[in-house]
Structures are given as structure tokens and as C-alpha cells.
Amino acid sequence: MIELLGLVLLSFAVTSFFMVPFIDLLYFIRSKYRRPIPKGYNDATTPIHNKLLAGKDLKTPVGGGILLIFIVTILVSLYAKLNIAVQPSYLYILLFTFLSFGAIGILDDVRKVLTAFSGKYAGLKGRYIVLAQLIFALLTALGLYYYIGLNNIYIPVLGNFVIGSWYIPFATFVIIAFSNAYNISDGLDGLSAGLLLICLFALLVLASATLNLTLAGFIGIWLGSLFAFLYFNIYPSRINLGDAGSLSFGATLAVVGLLTGKILALAIIGGVFVVIAFSSALQIISKRLLGRKILAVSPLHMYLRYIGWEEPRIVMRFWLTGAIFAVLGLWIALLSG
């Protein structure tokens, strides 16, 4: 436990040291090299989003996820070299997910840093992002199945189900689902990062309870870095996570949950992400099948913003809800052994 707390504090200190210079660098790049939004870009399909987000990206740079991915990767690598008890197979899978999904969003983040835009601006087309997610999620699932040896799903009360090679498409779906759910939730200052902190605390307890010190060490380093980032990301934000961070963090959260072997606990601990993603999916299904929208705007946190809730109020309520989900998921996981 002493070592684990030390990892959290070390990661927090290192990230805090680099965060301010990194933010200053992003502001400098934006002021010196920022160019107008590309010609031909049409965001008329999301007028409500554009109104709710107007001005946010003109004032606050994205790209915080790039710094966090870099720092966490370096610290985890050093931790693996200095600790002989670390299971390399676990870290290889975690770092592959962390870096590969981060790479998907880096191009978008660079474009947003260099582009003057306001509202909802998409860089890479959605189909290319989904294709890249599918490839990397499939490779990660293959690693979990062949390299780690995972092939089962444990559900409390019902028991353990060995599903063999069906674990590969199952894990692929879970990874893509959480990557997109986290990305969708990253819309208000401090929302996604705060929810992730809560989820990771619950998963840290679970990893420690099962004596998975390799997984606990990774989570501890990630937690410390997130603490430092959240200080600058809460309302009013000085830096946003960006697509590199949101796609990477969501996918890696899923892999952490899969490595604990408690898939139901993962779904409950990350319950707010699931609800946010469901509200967005429901909106899409409604428009395609019914020809109309169920909500004026989705996902759920943007709808609450639309009906007049203040941004900090939404974030705090979602954090509290996330904490309850985390306690419930952890209770179920520990109760079932």
C-alpha cells in the first residue's frame, strides 16, 4: 500500500510540474499559428450543440490527454523496470490500448489546436475513427485471449461462464463501447475526468483486493496524473482532454475492468458512462426509426445544459451519481468474491 500511494503522489507531482508549461505552450501555438476553420466544413447538423458550446474551444485549448498519455507511459515503463514483481503481459496489453487508441485522436487534437473554431468541430470522419477502433480493439481482445488467457465471464449469482473464443468479439465490443462512451461524456468541464477518477478508485480497491499489484500500480500512476489534470480541467477549464485522451482513457478503462474479471462490476462502476452513451444511442435510433428526436439534444448532460442547468451543477450531480454507481459495483464485485 505504501508503494501504491507513492506511485500516486509521484505521478501527481510529475504531471503537475509539466502541466502549466504544456498549457502555456498550447496557448502560444494557438495565438501564433491558429488558422480559420477549413473551407467546406459544415456543422449545420448540430445547431444546438454549437450554441451550447459556442466560444468554449476558442478560449480553452485541447490536448491535455496527449501530455497525460506521455507521462503515464513513461512512469509505467520505469515502474516495470524497477519492480520485478510486475507482470509484463498485463502492462503490455494496457500500454498497447493506452497508446493505440490515443493515436486515433492525436490528429484531431492537433487540428483543433491549430484551428479557430467554435461549437462542435469534427476532424477525422466518424467511419475512419470506428474502423481504427475496431482494429485496435480486436488486437487488444486477441491479446487478452491468447496472451493473458482470459476466456470467461463471471456474473454474480449466475456463476462463471467459459465462452472460449467468443471472448474475442465480446471484449472487442466492450472496449469500443467504453471508448465511445467516454468520448461522448467529454463535453463539460471536469465531467469525464472526474467520473474516471471515481471509477479508477473503485477498480483500484478491486485490484488490491485480488492482489493484482501490476494492475494496481498502473491504476495508481494513472490516478495521480488525472488528479493533476483535473485541477486545471474543472470549471472554468484551462485545458480540455481532447480526442486522444478521451478515446484512449475509455478503451483502457474497459481493459482494466476486463483484467479484473468482473465485467458486471465494470458496467456498474462505469454506470454514468453507460447512461450517457445510452442517451446518445437512443437519440440516434429515434431519429432513424421514428424520424424525430426523443430529446432536443443529446447526450444527457448536454440536454440538462439545454434546459438551463448550470455546468458546475451538472458535473457535481454526475460525480455524485458516479460515486454511488462505483460503490454499488464494488460491493457486488467483492460480495461475489
Q: Which residues belong to the annotated binding site for Mg(2+)?
A: 183, 243
The C-alpha cell at 196 is 474516471
In whole angstroms, how large is the CA radius of gyration of the chain? 19
Separation of alpha carbons 133 and 120, rounded Å: 21
CA distance 72 to 84: 19
> Closest Cα partner for 89 from 175, 176, 214, 210?
214
Instruction: Cis check for the bond before 299: say yes or no (omega within 30 of 0).
Output: yes
Residue whose grid cell is 450543440: 49
Instruction: Write out the binding residues.
Output: 183, 243
Quote the CA–CA distance of 127 and 305 in Å, as a whole number: 28
Q: Please say whether the beta carbons of 254 and 175 come within 8 A.
A: yes
CB 239 within 8 A of CB 228: no
Q: Which of 91, 98, 277, 50 is nearest to 182 (CA)?
A: 277
Give the three-state DSSP class for 103.
Answer: helix
Question: For residues 151 and 164, is the Cβ–Cβ distance under 8 A?
Answer: yes
How many Cβ atoms are within 10 Å of 95's Cβ, its own excluded? 18
